[in-house]
Structure 1
Amino acid sequence: MDSNWMNKPHTRRDALGSMLMAGSMAGGGLLLSACAGSGGLQKAKAERVPVDLKDPAQSLRTFIKLTGDLDPVKETPGWFGGTIFGDTQRNRPLMPLIGVEGFGVVRTEVQPDGSFKVFNRECAFYKDLKTGEFIDKWTNPYTKEVCDVKPIHNLTVNAHLIVSEKFGTAIEMDFDGKLMAVPLRLGWETFGDKLFSTFEVHTAFPSELTPEKWPRESAGKVLRIAEIFQRFASLAEVENPATTSADYSGTWTRVGPWLPWMRQGQADGSLLFRTFMTKLSGIDQLPAGLRRITEERLPEFFQAPPASSWGSKNDSSFSVYAKESTPLPPK
């Protein structure tokens, strides 16, 4: 995939596509449900219909089948978990800072023109690397300050995925009354019966948390984020016409700015998220600890957004923080 399609700061209009695709997962991610899983996996039968992944329409349909479910009534959960590293100086190794574990729930609706409405919701909690326990307080190893940990809870992260004459596959959205399409570049590789999927987002866009208003929480005027989603699946399952969903496991890698609650301000450096992710057959497959803390704090995140959420503004960790918090005074 060409990683330079959005490699510099943009105007508010141009940044819309960036914010949509990088808006989740601490921003974390696209459709993270990129962290999306399966709402009812069916065992593949022997029958197969070969998929032409160079054809945009078939590529998009395969992407939906892999990341979610072609059945519009089925909701698909998916788990992710791993470690977040801090990168501050080129002459020092990365520092493991904190663990992260969460899940997304996605539902898709195919449209008469072959496009898909994607309804996605995602949440995650942070963990102590030594104990593996979920935490509400975290000591910043750089500043020694004790910080209040803010979980990821993006209630709405919807998208309209289309086949575009200009881009092949794209994300379409309305902005100021004008319909816009942003490239959705899907990478595929096959190796025997293995199917490898790569989806990348490389972007930079204006931050909702400006340094002037949020001196201790803002990482700067521009947020630069890279997200790489890699999935591994059975080609036989993907090509089975009798199924609406195909299982996957994979990885989510993210390079992005400090999280607002870390109180790093405009300090040099960035975060590297290194996580595994996998599709689930249902919410009951979530790890017990993750399910319990979600039931206690964010029970509404076990379902995908309702149809009535279509057209509403998408959430991100940065926009949610700005909405729920007040700026800390300068140090």
Structure 2
Amino acid sequence: MLFDSIQNAVSRRSALGGLIGLGAAAGMAPAFAAQASANPNVRPLDIMDPRDNLYGFAKLWGTIGPKAVKSGYYGVQYAIVGSKRAMPVFGYYGFGNNRNIIQPDGSVKVLGKECGYFTDLATGEIIDYWDNPWTGERVEVFPFLNDRWRGTLGLEQKVFKVGDGETVNNDMGKGASAKGAPFRLPWNRVGDQYLLGWDYAHEYTNPVTPEGWPKASSGVRANPSEHFVVFTPTDEIDDRSLPSARFHAGFTRQGPWWPWMKMGQSGVQGVLMGRMFSYKITGTVDDIPKVVLKRIERDRPDLLEEPTDGPDEGVRGTLEAYAEDVPPETPGYVSALAKQRQKTLEDAKK
């Protein structure tokens, strides 16, 4: 595995003459040593130190500065049914608005807002309705708009708790055994770039239940996953005077049918796979796909405002948002999320 290979290489750096350029300055290749001497603020990441891992990731994915930065993504989602070829069905466009706070212990508080819209493949315009080719039904599209994304990355490997499931990020087959391990990411330094993988794969009880939403639900369980291959300049990550570093990434998402597609009673078993660009180049609204920026400025300009601090919110994806915001199809049905929300309100009054 990549991380294990890098770790072994770091332990052998004296024998290799420090050619991989990772870790302490004593093991740097001559070009990196020259860079460090030219700029006293440059100190290459120590990939074995969880604090340096968190520092690098916080700069890459957002900023550690006082103001949030913007990032964007866009691409195509494909439907895969049985052994048939993947069929492009719609575009998937969105952005993030993120700021990270490094805590005294080295952990990182993540503050953000995000959104995801679906677009017509021919025109590139955002769609509000979609003609389902399998059912023949015209359905209303449900965009994902999240005005609060708050979480914490600590010195131990991150465990994402989603519903009744838990996922260790970048577990690389280790699963539960990765819990409690130091927070380290598979940084790989090649030339003037750090290459980095970021993966998570969830499995949990679908909040859009077949009992409450028989047409919208894709089934009892849900298993979305997202996968990034990230490229970021070494001189921006390593320069400790910079609050943020540019990145560009390949972004793949796989998961069940979106609930708004109304595939629950279609009898069509399949998955969605998305291929997207993800990037933070200017850190401004210029990074937001223009079609998304136009819609956000019209409907939700608050998503462009600074994210606010507060308690961790946990993971809230499209499935959770749909179950919270779209009334059940079954009359009288009360979802588990609705019950939990009611209990939270009652507890707050006590």
TM-score by length of 2: 0.74
One of 138, 159, 174 as aligned partner of 2:130: 138
* 280, 283, 300: which one aligns with 1:281: 283
CA contact (8 A) 1:159 1:172 kept: no
Call closer, same or farther: CA 1:45–1:77 in 2, change over 3 Å: farther
1:59 aligns with 2:47: no
Distance in 1 (alpha carbons) for counterparts of 2:79 and 2:37: 45
Q: 1:120 to 1:307 in 2, by over 3 A?
A: same
Deviations, residues 308-327 of structure 1 (Å, cap 9, x unaligned)? 3x234543211211122123
Partner of 2:319: 318
Query: What is the CA distance between 1:45 and its match in structure 2?
Result: 11
- Superposed, 1:1-331 pairs within 5 Å as 47=39, 48-71=42-65, 73-90=66-83, 92-164=84-156, 169-171=157-159, 183-185=168-170, 186-265=185-264, 267-279=268-280, 280-308=282-310, 310-312=311-313, 314-328=315-329
8 Å Cα contact 2:71/2:95 also seen in 1: yes
8 Å contact from structure 1 (residues 156, 314) kept in 2: no
Higher helix proportion (structure 1 or 2): 2
Partner of 2:8: none
Over the aligned positions, Cα root-mean-square deviation in angstroms equals 2.7
- Supply the distance in 1 between the matched residues of 2:168 and 2:56 (Cα, whole angstroms): 17
Contact 1:161–1:172 (Cα < 8 Å) also in 2? no
Cα offsets for 1:20-61 (capped at 9, x unmatched)? xxxxxxxxxxxxxxxxxxxxxxxx995221211132221111
Aligned residues: 279
Contact 2:100 2:108 in 1 (8 A): yes
- In the TM superposition, what is the alpha-carbon distance from 1:125 to its structure 2 partner? 1.4
Tell me, yes or no, if the aligned pair for 1:121 and 1:156 is still in contact at 8 Å. yes
Query: Contact (CA 8 Å) 1:188, 1:198: kept in 2 or not?
Result: yes
Deviations 1:185-228 (A, max 9, x none): 42222211221111000121111111111111111111012210
Residues of 2 paired with 1:156 and 1:241: CA distance? 28
2:291 maps to amino acid: G
Preserved contact between residue 45 and residue 242 of structure 1 (Cα < 8 Å): no
Over the matched positions of the two proteins, sequence identity in percent amounts to 32
Residues 303 and 139 of structure 1, relative CA distance in 2, 3 Å threshold: same
The answer for unaligned runs of 5 or more in structure 1 is 3-43, 176-180
Give 5+ residue unaligned stretches, structure 2: 3-35, 171-184, 332-350
Tell me the distance in 2 between the aligned counterparts of 1:254 and 1:286.
Answer: 19
CA distance in 1, matches of 2:227, 2:79: 18
Give the 3-state SS of the residue equivalent to 1:81 in structure 2. strand
Give TM-score scaled by structure 1 length: 0.78
Partner SS, residue 203 of structure 2: strand
More strand by share: 1
Change in 2 beyond 3 A, CA 1:290/1:52: same
Give, in whole Å, the separation in 1 of the partners of 2:136 and 2:222: 25
Q: 1:33 is matched with which residue?
A: none
CA distance 1:45–1:249, shift in 2 (3 Å): farther
CA contact (8 A) 2:200 2:227 kept: yes
CA deviations over 1:81-138 (Å, ceiling 9, x no partner): 0001001112x10010001111011111111111111012111211110111111111
- For the Cα contact (< 8 Å) 1:79–1:278, is it kept in 2? yes
Q: Aligned letter for 1:321?
A: Y
Deviations 1:132-176 (A, max 9, x none): 111111111111211101111122222110102xxxx32588x9x
Distance 2:73 2:127 in 1: 17
The code of the aligned residue for 1:74 comes to K
1: distance between equivalents of 2:278 and 2:153? 22
Distance (whole Å) between structure 2 residues aligned to residue 278 and residue 288 of structure 1: 14
